[in-house]
Structure formats: structure tokens, C-alpha cells
A and B are shown apart, each in its own frame.
Chain A
């Protein structure tokens, strides 16, 4: 089913008796497809773009590439550096902006510019009863009523089908510089990233790619980038020689390129940076990649590993990104939190039409 309008979509949901698999370009789904495919690509197009107000309103099925091209033409961008998950997950579709929001997909710049949910200022969605619901709007500051915008971001289609999303944007920077320190072990690398992130130099990327280097990025006006790079170089010299990166590592870090095509299960840990290196050691991982100053860790482990059991309790949570195993994708929640989640899903999707992980 491929509705062309929000009204058609609402009719489909209202009439549905069996589960629907909400799909944009099917590039970010984590679990199996459950139910009849509801293809959102027909709901496409930019509804409003005001560069002077840094505001974009766009229909959910619009290809991400089209959104990014429209913004680039005005020297602007989505602040949160959307990862492309296709090669990691082995998919070939076209990522849509609704899927980006449903997954709260956020890349390296998250440490400075926030996640997708922080740039999202408005939504329209169809809930499990077929009702069209609007929340937020197109303005930067809005505390009118409950913030369902945040609740729907990252809800992976479990509460409703997004039909339109609104963002606040940022101007693209005039200049970018990336510094690299070679040869640090993981724990020392996270310390270096922490040093960079606790400096006043407005770091917009802080990642450690074992065997490739520890990377720190600054962006902005050219004189400012030059100044901050020089200051960071001084600050980080205690960790080893600091040099400009010869190639731009950020697309590879953003898209988890080191794991593309590699055998094994892929996990994603969200944790406290200072615990990251010891978690990686305990995980007995084949490979690891640290982003967000160590707050985000990608792990490649033996197939079928129950990483949550291996690690035991830790500060944060683990998501199973790619695996053939039957382990749950999302970290089990404490009983009272799980009850709230179930309660919300029952209210927004009373007929259980929306699958676990769209």
C-alpha cells in the first residue's frame, strides 16, 4: 500500500485489521518486517523552507538526499549529521526524512548540535486509530502543551505514522578542520576526547577509530577554525603528536564504515564515556568504534553473542543493530518503565497495528 496523501493514509490505518510495516526507504529497520508494507514514499515534498528563519517543513516520505540538496543550495544543513545505515545493514533503499526521525538518527555532531530530536520542532502523524495529530509547529521555541515531538522522535513507528516533520536548521560552516592523534590505546583516547570536549573550543566531532587515530573536529568561520585548531593542538599535545587529518574521517565514522561487510554481530552502546573502554575490553569485541567522545560505542562481536549478558549491568544501554540471532533488539527496560511504554503504545496504537521496529 502506497498512499499519496495523509488523508489516504489515515483511511488505510482506520481500515486496517492486521499489522502494518511502516516503511520509508527501509534503510534503518532493525528487526524483521512484520505485517503488510505501508510505503510512505508517496508522501513526498518540501512544504515550507524559510532560509531566513532557519526553518524547514517537509513531508515524511521525502528522500533525505532531496532534503539535503535543497538545504545545501541555500548554504544550510540539518544540524545532526544523519548517518547512512545502508551498507552497515546491507540495504539498498533510499533513506526518507520520516525514517530519520523515527530512528532519531544522529551522527558525530550530536556532541555539539544535539540529536535529531533536538532539531525537530514539529510533527504530524496518524495514530493507530487513524486520527491525524499535530504537535509542535514551525517555531524554534514552543512549550505549548506536551512535547509529543520528542516522544515520537525515535519511537520507530510504534506510536504512529509520521506524515510531516519540521526542523530548525543551521548554516553550513565556512571552514572545517580535523585533528588526529595516532597510536592511543582506547582508554587514553577517550581521555583525549574528553579533554577536547571540556575545552572552550566548541568541538563538533570527537571519535576514536582504533588503529586509524583519535579525531577531533572544529567548524565555523575560517579565522576561528584556525585559532581553535591551534589551541586544541596545544591542549592535546600531552597525548602525543597532533596533526591535521589527511583525509576526512567523519563520513566513515558516521556510517560505521569499519564494520561494512565484516562478519559478526553489530551492537551499539550508549554509555558514559569514561566507562567505554572497559566495556569494550569486557565485550571481547572483534572491532570497536567510539563516537560522541566515547558516549557511543559500536561493537563487532562473534555471532550470537548475548552482549548484555556478557557485560552485566552498566551505565547505559545496548542495542542489537545487526544479527541473525533471536536476541531482543532493544535493551530490556525496568518493569515500571516498560509498563509506561506499554501503556503509551496501547493508547496510541490500541489495535497493535504498528510493528516493534519499523
Chain B
């Protein structure tokens, strides 16, 4: 993975730029000591690291605007950062760039139950948004696995999803408005606590733009009343194909479970060894969760069971209590930790049409064997968002490159069957060089135009999302 060479003019002016930042920020909002900026050298894609020119941690929208105005004047690149949990390298710095972290902006600004929204500062963590409204019977629906740590700013940047988006949608479906600071330092309000945009749906394109169009400092989020209850059921099958067919039949049957999670044999074995959740010994396992009152749940699960039975499950376990429900989810929630025990791993995020599940899993198995690596699959089957985990040994020379090559092949396969490179993690630097697999030069040019309008000098997070050769003529040299 290449990053552009640092801008020599900016590097030469480093001291002056830092002095100017110091003049507009409180002392504790600016970090320049390399021992302290090291904490910001990477995000959750730890394979790539670089110390930034400086780190800024503003507390107000006015401070964010001051930083951006100044960096625009100085033509210094800015890397927006939420909580630094991107799996795609979305907030990976370059040495000539200033990190703008919003983690200190974490206040709840307004809660309005009658109108069903909450307004928060964007550094607030995903789970603590729900935390702020939970006691009153509400929740914020998008629930990425990192929800304890990840910030709303990053969720908006990447249009994050989660396990429950089959029913509730992803970030873009739950975002009503934002306060956005442009690279020029202008503070804009886009959208608000009503449902429709008045003109072009700018919010729709800002969400998922990976911090390349502006810095979101506040957001209006839709909050929903909590369902009365939820209950998972676990079922095991003798092949991936059969489990895939069962997923399709559940969806076709008019059921809309809040989650349908899929684990294959390598994943089941690894999580069993790690978490001892008591999972059955089988080729593929589904966890299906439904919501409602106890009677509604009984009715839905009876329907799920009659569909599953047609596929001759080798195990079928309905949670009879809260403890059993926790045990069913235990393995799924420990899956990534379990993989970590097996070695280093790359987590892919391609999405495929649900009808291609079995075919794609078989092809992934063949590709993996040809590379001599191991892959475990755990993913959101209801919406086709796969998460193959490629296990490798970071200490073995060449193994990371081998794993990345396998990952690229798997993502090409996802696109080939009608899917996409990333369903919820974002492109970042990780999938940047594969964009041409999914998009023609014309398709990409149309996207670049949007950035041209918001950030004509290409200073915001410029080396991400699009292949470097595609953006070379636009980026500051």
C-alpha cells in the first residue's frame, strides 16, 4: 500500500504551522510531541502507521472551524478522526497532515422524545447515544461491533452498519442532519430534525464520504422506541449451501428478523475453543433474532422453525431464558477475539447478493486453499454482508502480503457476483486500490466531482477512498 510523499513545503514550515495552531487552540488541544502523537499514528487497521504533523483535539465547533480555516490558509492536509476504530485505515495520517480528532466533543445537546430525535456532538460514542435515552425506553439503531468505542463522527464518515440493520437500516437511514465544517472553515447546517431534505440530499452524500467532504461536529439522530423484547434461536446445518437456502427462505417467508448471523465451521470451531458457548458441531450455523412481545416472538419463531425444519437442521436451540440468549450470542460476539487467538487476521467486508452465499463460500474455500492460508467466515447473512477473516502470521515475512492478495481475490469475487467491496467498514486505504474493480473511470470521476465542490483543494483526507493515480492531478503535490 502506497501513500503519497509528504509535501516538502509543508514539512519545511512545520514549526510555523504548529505555532499558528497553538495560537487558536487551548494548550491541551494541540499535541506535537512524537511520544504523544504516536497514539494517533494508526487506527484499527494497525498494519499501517505514520506519525502526523500534529494532533488537534478541539472541544467546540468554533475550534474545529478555526483549525480548518488555518489549515486551508496554510494548505495543510487534515485527517478527521472519531475514536480511531476504523478497520479500513480511514484515519491513517500522513506526516504532512494534521489530525483533527473530535473525541472530546461528546455532549448530548438536545433530547426530544415527542419528535423522536437526539442531537449530539459527533465525538460521542455510538453506545452512549443509546445510553442517553435507554432509561426512557428508546435506542439508537445502528450498532457496529465496535459500538462501545466508536464515535458517531466515524459512523457518519463510514455509514456504519451493524448486526441489526436488516430491520433498522444503517447510519444513513437514521441520520437526520449534521453540523458540518467545511475545509474552508465555514460552519453549515445540513438537514435537521425533520424527515425530508429541502433541496438536494447533501446529507445523503456526506454520510459515507469518509471525512473527505467536511468535518461533522454535531448530528441529529433518529431514536426509536425499544421493542418489548427479543429472542434468538440458533440452528446448525450440514452445509453452507443448506444454511444459505434457509436464510433465503426466511426472508422470502415474510419474516423480518432483526438479525440473521452466519458462522462457518472454521469460525464455529475457533469460537468454541475460545468462548465455550456450547455450539453444535456442524458445518454452518445461523443465529436468528426476532423482536416483539413474548406472544409475537413465539409466533415468529414458530414460523422460523417451520422454515428451518424443511432444511433438516442438525441442531435447533431456542433461548428459553435471558441466560440462554446470552449464551447463543456469546460465541458470535467472541468470534473476532477467538480469531485473534488463532493469529493475526484481516477482516474483509464485501457484500454479495444473498442468493450467491453458497457459491461464494465455496469459492472462498477454494481460493484460501490455493493460498495455503486459513479463512473463517462470520457475517450478517440477511443482507449479504460477509466478513471473511483471513488468518496469517505477521511475524512471518511475506505472510501479510499473501493474506492481502487473498483478500483482494475474495473482494474481486464479491464484485464479480454482483456485490461490492465494502458493506459497512468503508474503503479507507485498505480497499482504495481495488476501486477500479467495482467502478469504471467515469463512475469514479462522478464521485470526485463531489469532492471538488466541497473541498476544491483536496486537503481533507485526500489519499483515501480513490486510487492514488486517479486522484493525483487533483491532490496538492
Cβ of A53 < 8 Å from any Cβ of B?
A: yes
Stretch from B32-40, B52-60, B74-82, B432-440 at the A interface: B432-440
Q: Which of A223-246 contact B (CB under 8 A)?
A: 223-224, 227, 231
Residue of B nearest to A141 (CB): B423
Q: Mark A47-59, 1 if CB is under 8 A from B, else 0.
A: 0001111110000
CA distance A202 to B258 in the complex (A): 13
Q: Counting CB contacts under 8 A, is B421 at the interface?
A: yes
Contact A330 B296 (CB under 8 A): no
Which A residues lie at the B interface, using CB under 8 A?
50-55, 75, 104, 110-111, 114-115, 117-118, 127, 131-135, 137-151, 153-155, 158-159, 170-174, 191, 194, 197-200, 202, 221, 223-224, 227, 231, 270-274, 292, 295-296, 315-317, 319, 330-331, 333-334, 336-337, 340-341, 343-344, 347-348
- Top 9 nearest A-B pairs by Cβ distance? A150-B204, A317-B198, A171-B254, A141-B423, A343-B453, A140-B383, A347-B449, A52-B248, A270-B196
Q: A75-B254, A144-B427, A147-B208 are in contact. List 17 more A-B contacts (CB 8 A).
A: A52-B252, A55-B353, A117-B204, A118-B172, A127-B446, A139-B383, A141-B351, A150-B172, A171-B251, A198-B225, A272-B193, A274-B112, A274-B114, A274-B115, A316-B192, A341-B202, A344-B450
Chain A residues positioned under 8 Å from B205 (CB to CB): 146-148, 150-151
0/1 string, B216-257, CB within 8 A of A gives 1: 000000000111100000000000000000001101111110
Q: Is A147 within 8 A of B172, CB to CB?
A: yes
Within 8 A of A (CB), among B283-339: 292-293, 295-296, 299-300, 303
- The answer on a CB contact under 8 Å between A143 and B440 is no
Q: Which residues of B contact A154 (CB under 8 A)?
A: 196-197, 200-201
- Is there an interface contact between A141 and B444, defined as CB atoms closer than 8 Å? no
Please tell me if the beta carbons of A347 and B197 are within 8 angstroms of each other in the complex. Answer: no
Contact present for B194 and A271 (CB under 8 Å):
yes
Asked whether, in the complex, the Cβ of A134 is within 8 Å of the Cβ of B296, the reply is no
Chain A residues with Cβ under 8 A from B447's Cβ? Answer: 135, 145-146, 148
CB distance from B332 to the nearest CB of A (A): 18
Evaluate whether A336 and B454 lie within 8 angstroms (CB atoms) in the complex, with A137-B420, A144-B435, A151-B205 already known. no
The interface residues of chain B lying within 8 Å CB-to-CB of A333 are 198-199
Select the residue from B112, B161, B251, B466 with max chain A CB neighbours within 10 A.
B251
Answer whether residue B145 sits at the interface, using C-beta atoms and an 8 A cutoff.
no
Asked if A221 and B418 make an inter-chain contact with CB atoms under 8 angstroms apart, the answer reads: no
Q: B363 in the interface, Cβ–Cβ < 8 Å?
A: no
- B10: interface (CB < 8 Å): no
Contacts of B439 in A (CB 8 A): 134, 144-145
Q: Is the beta-carbon distance between B385 and A224 smaller than 8 angstroms? A: no
CB distance from A166 to the nearest CB of B (A): 10
Determine if B261 is an interface residue (Cβ-Cβ < 8 Å). no
Whether B453 lies near A133 (C-beta < 8 A) is no
Chain B 428-465 per-residue mask, 1 if CB under 8 angstroms from chain A, else 0: 00010001001110111111011111100000000001
**Given A53, A117, A127, which contacts B201 in the complex, CB threshold below 8 Å?**
A117
Q: What are 11 residue pairs bridging A and B, where the CB atoms are less than 8 Å apart in the complex?
A: A53-B384, A134-B439, A139-B423, A144-B438, A145-B444, A146-B209, A151-B201, A154-B197, A159-B200, A202-B227, A270-B194
Taken together as a complex, chains A and B put the C-alpha atoms of A260 and B191 apart, in Å, by: 30
**Closest chain B residue, CB of each to CB of A223:** B299
Minimum C-beta distance from B199 to chain A (A)? 5
Cα A114 to Cα B54 in complex, Å, equals 41
Cα-based distance from A20 to B43 in the complex (angstroms):
48
Q: Does B113 have its Cβ within 8 Å of any Cβ on chain A?
A: yes
A296 touches B195 (CB 8 A): yes
Give the contacting residue for B296; candidates A150, A158, A224; CB below 8 A.
A224
